Amino acid sequence: MGLPRFGRPIDGKSSPNLYVANCGPAVGLSFNTIATVFSTFGEVIGVYAADESGTRVIVSYVEESSAQAALKALNKRPCPDLAGRFLHIQYSIVQPPKQVLTNDSIPVSLAAKDLNIPGLYLWPEFITSAEEEELLASVDDMPWKTLAKRRVQHYGYEFIYEVNEYPSGVGLSPHIDTHSAFDGLIFSLSLAGPCIMEFRRYTDGAWLQKPDLDADSKEENSDCGSNFVRRAIYLPPRSMLLFSGEARYAWHHYIPHHKVDLVKDNVIKRGSRRVSFTLRKVREGPCKCEFPQYCDSQS
Ligand SMILES: [Zn+2]
């Protein structure tokens, strides 16, 4: 992966991305350490090498206000948590790279349109931090149902895992939400920690013979296995993901369990806890989608 090009800021224009000089692996500061220190000012999306010097990095925040707070606190003064180094910080107006690579060589996109999966949409910052806190507090007041690797709460209808292709005990292995059970739009709101979601489009017929892969499996090491193509997206907290059309009916999706968010010169921090709200509408009548090969109503 080529290094991103970061320009200097124009007219002191503020940005969620900081260009930080006198900081980096060549002066003994790992990307993880840098991410941890800068995280005290807000959620860090990633830390990137600004160039090949090893002494200049880009710290990319979700929110511009976090970058402002970090610049104010850390610029042009010795930072005790970073070996007392004297940092020189400016806003960087150029966006961080659109993709980073995970340990198993999957490029992870930061925007849904870069995945080229028709019908998949992502809205970052769909809710505010205050709304997020409110939602987390309210779910923690409700009883959880414990599955093998995660806990769930159901609202409206009970989801019967035993009769669905999404069985308990395997966490989020690759699956398509059953066509006959749910309507065409599925929304997923991410709270608390970020995660990476992966997608697979199997070549016709191949998915029927697919081995029952656990999501921890690392046997495929490219974005194009022998019988499927593979894509990945970063889901930040407070973002809303929409599955519709081909994304909903024909792509398997899953969340890998392994914590592989550091690769090459980029680190993406993953929180210990992620809560997601999945909103589905119960279907009335059979599914009439354009993907009969994946459709339990039409098979
Ligand atoms: Zn269908």
Residue-wise pLDDT tens digits, 180-228: 988 999 999 988 877 788 899 987 655 555 444 443 343 443 444 568 8
Q: Is residue 206 part of a domain?
A: yes
Q: E-assigned strands of the chain?
A: 17-21, 44-49, 56-61, 78-79, 85-86, 88-91, 99-101, 107-109, 120-123, 145-146, 151-152, 186-192, 195-202, 228-235, 240-243, 252-254, 262-263, 266-267, 274-279
Question: How many domains is the chain built from?
Answer: 2
Calculate what percentage of the chain has a pLDDT beyond 70.
Answer: 72
50 and 28, same structural domain?
A: yes
pLDDT score at 266: 52
Residue 294 alpha carbon to ligand 1 centre in Å: 7
250 and 194, same structural domain?
A: yes
Tell me the mean pLDDT in the region 274-282: 85
Residue 183 alpha carbon to ligand 1 centre in Å: 9
239 and 112, same structural domain?
A: yes
Per-residue pLDDT tens over the stretch 22-67: 998 888 888 888 999 999 999 888 888 777 778 888 898 889 999 9
CATH code of the domain covering residue 210 = 2.60.120
pLDDT score at 89: 93
Residue 112 alpha carbon to ligand 1 centre in Å: 23
Per-residue pLDDT tens over the stretch 86-139: 999 998 876 555 555 554 556 778 789 889 999 999 998 899 889 999 998 888
Residue 111 alpha carbon to ligand 1 centre in Å: 26
What is the pLDDT of the chain when averaged over all its residues?
Answer: 77
Residue 155 alpha carbon to ligand 1 centre in Å: 24
Q: Which pTM value belongs to this model? A: 0.60
Q: Is residue 12 part of a domain?
A: no
238 and 167, same structural domain?
A: yes
Pick from 17-21, 141-145, 283-287: least confident: 141-145
Residue 297 alpha carbon to ligand 1 centre in Å: 6
Query: Rounded distance, CA 259 to CA 92, Å?
Result: 28
CATH code of the domain covering residue 51 = 3.30.70.330
**Confidence grade of residue 288 (pLDDT, cut at 50, 70, 90):** very high
Residue 248 alpha carbon to ligand 1 centre in Å: 9
Q: Which of 48, 71, 91 is the last residue of a domain?
A: 91
148 and 36, same structural domain?
A: no
Q: Which of 91, 122, 157 is the last residue of a domain?
A: 91
Residue 184 alpha carbon to ligand 1 centre in Å: 9
Residue 252 alpha carbon to ligand 1 centre in Å: 13
Encoding tokens for residue 242?
């929409």
Q: Is residue 6 part of a domain?
A: no
pLDDT score at 206: 56
Residue 69 alpha carbon to ligand 1 centre in Å: 49
Residue 191 alpha carbon to ligand 1 centre in Å: 29
Query: Rounded distance, CA 297 to CA 130, Å?
Result: 41
- Containing domain of residue 53, as a range? 17-91
Q: Is residue 5 part of a domain?
A: no
Residue 186 alpha carbon to ligand 1 centre in Å: 13
Q: Which of 91, 107, 132 is the last residue of a domain?
A: 91
Residue 145 alpha carbon to ligand 1 centre in Å: 29
Instruction: State in Å, rounded, how far the first CA of the chain is from the last one.
Output: 42
pLDDT of 1 higher than 60: no
Query: Rounded distance, CA 48 to CA 264, Å?
Result: 9
Encoding tokens for residue 185?
């739009």
Residue 146 alpha carbon to ligand 1 centre in Å: 29
**Confidence grade of residue 259 (pLDDT, cut at 50, 70, 90):** very low
106 and 74, same structural domain?
A: no
* Torsion on CA atoms 199, 117, 186, 109, rounded to nearest 10: 60
Q: E-assigned strands of 72-184?
A: 78-79, 85-86, 88-91, 99-101, 107-109, 120-123, 145-146, 151-152
104 and 213, same structural domain?
A: yes
